[in-house]
Amino acid sequence: MSLSGFLSQLLAIVLSLLLAPLLMGWVNQWRCWLQNRSGPGVLQPYRMLHKLFHKESVVAEHASSLFRMAPYIVFGCMVLACAIIPTLSTDLP
């Protein structure tokens, strides 16, 4: 894999992780529009993520290592899911 292919794949991962909440907000706003009601703004998912990232983590004293590693595992799975979809890369490996 060339450096340009690697950088384009990295850019695709970052863009898909950053734009996913915007798409979710847009879909929610259209749902509300179709039901003739006012809904949250398009940027509401970003506000929810900001609130969730700034919360204090609560971990039990006797929590297993799997319980402590679960958020990192889920985030890693999301990054891998974004990585296998070739959106911006032009040359195949």
Give the domain extent around 15: 3-83
Question: For residue 29, is it within any domain?
Answer: yes
| Count of domains observed in the chain | 1
Q: 32-76 pLDDT, tens per residue?
A: 999 999 988 999 999 999 998 898 888 888 888 898 899 899 989
Question: For residue 91, is it within any domain?
Answer: no
Q: Which of 9, 5, 6, 13 is nearest to 75 (CA)?
A: 13
**What is the pTM assigned to this prediction?**
0.69
The three-state secondary structure class of 51 is helix
Q: Which residue type is seen at 31?
A: R
Question: For residue 88, is it within any domain?
Answer: no
Question: For residue 60, is it within any domain?
Answer: yes
How far is Cα 84 from Cα 80, in angstroms, rounded to an integer? 6
How far, CA to CA in Å, does 51 sit from each of 31, 36, 56?
24, 28, 10
Question: For residue 63, is it within any domain?
Answer: yes
